[in-house]
Structure 1
Amino acid sequence: MIGLGPGGEDIAARLARGGWSVLAVDEHLVGGECPYYGCIPSKMMLHESRRADASWARVAQRIREEATDHWDDGVAVERLLGTGATFVHGRAEIAGGPATGPASDGTSVTVTPNDGGARQTWTARRAVVLNTGSESVRIPVPGLPDAVTWTHRDVVTAETLPASLAIVGGGPVGCELAQALTGFGVRVSLLVRGGRLLSGEAPEAGELVAERFRSEGIDVRTGTEISGVQAGEASRYETSHGIPASAGPVDLELTTGDRLTVDRVLLATGRVPRDPVDVDDWCRVLDGAAAEGGQPVPGRYAIGDMTGVGPFTHTSMAQAAVVADQLLAGAAPRPFPRHAVPRVTYTDPEVAAVGLSEGEARKAVEHQGGDASEVHVVRVDLGASSRGWIDEVRGHLTLVARAEGNADEKGTGVGTGPGAGTGTSGGVLVGAAVVGPHAGEILGALTVAVHARVPLAELARIPWAYPTLHRSIGDAVAQFGSDVIGAESAAGPAS
């Protein structure tokens, strides 16, 4: 097992407990990015920033002591060793590369330990599982001193915060950190190359988040990049001499012609896989691109960010279950459900989505020879619900459905998950999105519906709790109309 992020750690432990001889290798921390620098610390920061008495010192101490044990993975290593696995902190190289099948006598794995010890060579006779993750994109900004350049890791490990900060990037990481740091009194400017925030989501989501950000004092600048940098003496001195100093402010020249003076520049321009590979739905590495008919490489599996399926902890963990079950059982289990991977951005308002957007759904249907008119979309205003009116909510819920419930029979490629092929006589959800308070929680029911291909007729019959925000799901389903929902929607099944 090469790479001990959450999914890799889970596979190594399960196989070791199942009687396998397991070598687990990771160059950094067992547990990966999520518990030490990503999901957990960032959500702790957001939680603390929304308190009336928000204290960076308090949350920084909590991150160091409670969440990361001062970025020490000793407890995780002991837990892994307790399963019977062998673990090495180091870098692993596999003979032939990630997409090469094992030789008749197994795959050679060479490990270079972090502690400077001798290189070790092992033989994986049954399988090699890869989970090497992703890394932050470091866009070049000419003239920007290292002394003032931060990534999300610098924020998470900081004991004190700068007075002002420019964040480059308007994706989930940039947006979450912008709102969190503003809550601690940092003057934040958010510089976005494109025309809106959260470009991977519906335009309305980015617009609503930007409106909220500006109301909180965040300086949101779309269509803006850094074109030049003038650094103060302290910043230049620290960069050229390597001697810690109080880094002075930098003056940023922007492509809009404006200038911006800040103490730090945080690069939040996304992540890329370290060792990208294509995998099939059973997480088997392919010997070529999936679109070009790549074939599974015997004994080679990959999970997590490197597969490009979705850079989320829950993706890695779900893929880990597919691989571990497959290896322990000796037969392919149910495939990984690519069609229903949820995602949530934890800003206020939250932004959450699962499955296909309207455009993606129409392309999927057309690609397989179907009719794009089978795709139907409705959107409801969360503020129009009783709970939304009470709480003065701003936000909306969008559902994307396909009128033909049995997508497999139509060959659209959007009906290959659990519940497909059940012969339902109406529509099914193929995607959903929510923007507003508790969007990630509302998404739970929608994820089940998309994952299991629950017929719209069944969703229309559910007595959604009143008054709740999730009751808007029922309101939205009702707007599809009986021709999309199916014959049972009006009166329910015959008694």
Structure 2
Amino acid sequence: MTETESIAYDVVVLGAGPVGENVADRTRAAGLSTAIVESELVGGECSYWACMPSKALLRPVIAQADARRLPGLSQAVQGPLDAAAVLARRDYFTSHWKDDGQVGWLDGIGADLYRGHGRLAGPRTVTVTGPDGTVRTLTARHAVAVATGTGAALPDLPGLAEVRPWTSREATSAEAAPGRLVVVGGGVVATEMATAWQALGSRVTLLVRGKGLLNRMEPFAGELIAEALTAAGVDVRTGTSVESVTRENGTVVVVTGQGDRIEADEILFATGRVPRTEDIGLDTVGLAPGSWLTVDDSLRVTGSQWLYAVGDVNHRALLTHQGKYQARIAGAAIAARASGVPLLETDPWGAHAATADHSAVPQVVFTDPEAAAVGLSLAEAEQAGRRVRAVDVEFSSVAGAGLYGDDYRGKARLVVDLEREILLGVTFVGPGVGELIHSATVAVAGEVPVSRLWHAVPSYPTLSEVWLRLLEAYRDN
């Protein structure tokens, strides 16, 4: 191991995924010198093992499902998907797991990239151990931002490592569809990967410990998606735990808590996420290794004047778009403090406050049908003590839904704060609804009064006309 001299920067960022890249972009735009450290591929989980490859796998699946709902077109798309072509397109969108383009982008903004394992080594200090064992020490005049993301959480099952289970990484980067796939979990990764691999030729069994799917959304979202997965051929088993997993002569053998034995070629565990903070030197600054990092609304770690935690590691909203939003807030806050601004704009919706994390987090689940939601569910609003009313509408009442495809099934819900008459939450379930959610995000984040929304006229005949039906239902009942 060779040690080199210390190099000083204004800001040091740990992690060059989308979140770290955006912190670097904002601090560089403010004129601060910035170093960014990455141990894997620049672009991070989202670019190579999550958002981009998963959506590349799912897009042909959804397009085929939409086409099959249209007489005149359905007859032309009755055959199976060309799995090899779908996987090749997935590989294109991951840049074949090469990061040259994203490295070039970092060069373009003037951030210095250090490849290797970065660890805190005391206040405002980061050591980087490179692939050749060389250790560099980086010091930060103003801030260190931790943007190391999360990894897959695996259950504590004896012998699981020997089984070589899939996590989200293997599920999005597999070179071929397994003949039989068991998916354990009921959340976004589980439902999306069950959707993708079933359509690409796998016989999928989905094991869900709880009562249903997508338990953080309105109940009808999970119900409609479970029905659709079952209709597509997925064996959906709720209330089912995994007691043991072994691999015998290449075959995965799963025994459930109900005593069922299931054989498969691969098993995917989509059972949550853990922060990648185990070996980044948190102990050197008085924090617990492996912990989630608690932050204020400027994304500064509680009790620190210089350490920031941005994106998944702070556990506020484990979504790429929300992490990038946080990065823009953190970059602005770091720059403002570095320039000596005496008072940051940290009031709700201020330039240095990640307020949307509390009230207006959007998410889309790219299954068939899609599920999209922003803000609070009815149950969350009631648990928070808000006086609310839920308004539900079936998409069958919307002309655009029928035009979108025959037998269109979907549902929408508004959660209305009755004291202020603003929207606290909106949920859409149905084909194509992912493109509706930003209008709902604007309404929730902007706290637009229902009376004003009445004058936001949706175009006819589009899916957006569901807004008119929802507002009519609120007004007339």
TM-score by length of 2: 0.84
Q: Compute the displacement of 1:307 (Å).
A: 1.4
Of 320, 326, 349, the match for 2:369: 349
Counterpart position of 1:306: 313
What does the per-residue CA deviation read over 1:89-146, in whole Å, with 9 as the maximum and x for residues that have no partner?
11222234xxxxx4xxxx2221112x13321212111111111101101113334563
| Counterpart residue identity of residue 155, structure 1 | A
Counterpart contact for 1:48–1:55, Cα < 8 Å: no
How many residues end up aligned between the 2 structures? 421
SS state at 1:272 partner? strand
Map residues 346-385 of structure 1 onto 2, 5 A cutoff: 346-364=366-384, 366=385, 372=386, 374-385=387-398
SS state at 2:55 partner? helix
What does the per-residue CA deviation read over 1:374-399, in whole Å, with 9 as the maximum and x for residues that have no partner?
31211111112223345332111110
- Superposed CA RMSD in Å reads 2.0
| Counterpart residue identity of residue 376, structure 1 | R
Counterpart contact for 1:60–1:156, Cα < 8 Å: no
Say whether residues 1:324 and 2:331 are aligned partners: yes
Question: Equivalents in 2 of 1:148, 1:79: separation in Å?
Answer: 35
Question: Equivalents in 1 of 2:132, 2:90: separation in Å?
Answer: 30
Say whether residues 1:60 and 2:80 are aligned partners: no
Structure 2: where are the runs of 5+ without partners?
Answer: 1-12, 65-76, 278-291
Counterpart position of 1:71: 97
Q: Compute the displacement of 1:148 (Å).
A: 5.0
| Counterpart residue identity of residue 326, structure 1 | A
Of 271, 280, 284, the match for 2:300: 284
The range that moved more, 333-342 or 27-36, is: 333-342
Question: Kindly, what percent of the aligned residue pairs are identical?
Answer: 39
Question: Equivalents in 1 of 2:134, 2:36: separation in Å?
Answer: 17
Say whether residues 1:428 and 2:422 are aligned partners: yes
Counterpart contact for 2:180–2:202, Cα < 8 Å: yes
Q: Compute the displacement of 1:40 (Å).
A: 0.8
Question: Equivalents in 1 of 2:137, 2:90: separation in Å?
Answer: 37
Question: Equivalents in 2 of 1:323, 1:143: separation in Å?
Answer: 42
Question: Equivalents in 1 of 2:371, 2:242: separation in Å?
Answer: 27
Q: Compute the displacement of 1:178 (Å).
A: 0.4
Of 142, 146, 152, the match for 1:130: 146
Question: Equivalents in 1 of 2:42, 2:318: separation in Å?
Answer: 18
Counterpart position of 1:92: 118
Cα 1:204–1:17 change in 2 (3 A) is closer
Question: Equivalents in 2 of 1:225, 1:255: separation in Å?
Answer: 5
Question: Equivalents in 1 of 2:209, 2:332: separation in Å?
Answer: 43
Cα 1:161–1:209 change in 2 (3 A) is same
Cα 1:230–1:88 change in 2 (3 A) is closer
Point out the structure with max Rg over C-alpha. Answer: 1
Map residues 161-240 of structure 1 onto 2, 5 A cutoff: 161-229=177-245, 231-233=247-249
Q: Compute the displacement of 1:20 (Å).
A: 1.7
Question: Equivalents in 2 of 1:228, 1:95: separation in Å?
Answer: 41
Cα 1:230–1:117 change in 2 (3 A) is closer
Give structure 1 regions of 4+ aligned residues with deviation exceeding 4 angstroms. Answer: none
| Counterpart residue identity of residue 350, structure 1 | E
Question: Equivalents in 2 of 1:263, 1:327: separation in Å?
Answer: 49
Question: Equivalents in 1 of 2:207, 2:157: separation in Å?
Answer: 13
Question: Equivalents in 2 of 1:272, 1:445: separation in Å?
Answer: 32
Counterpart contact for 2:177–2:201, Cα < 8 Å: no
Q: Compute the displacement of 1:163 (Å).
A: 0.6
Of 255, 258, 262, the match for 1:256: 258
Question: Equivalents in 2 of 1:213, 1:431: separation in Å?
Answer: 26
Higher relative contact order, chain-length normalized (CA < 8 Å, sep 6+): 2
Question: Equivalents in 2 of 1:305, 1:262: separation in Å?
Answer: 32
Counterpart contact for 2:218–2:378, Cα < 8 Å: no
TM-score by length of 1: 0.81
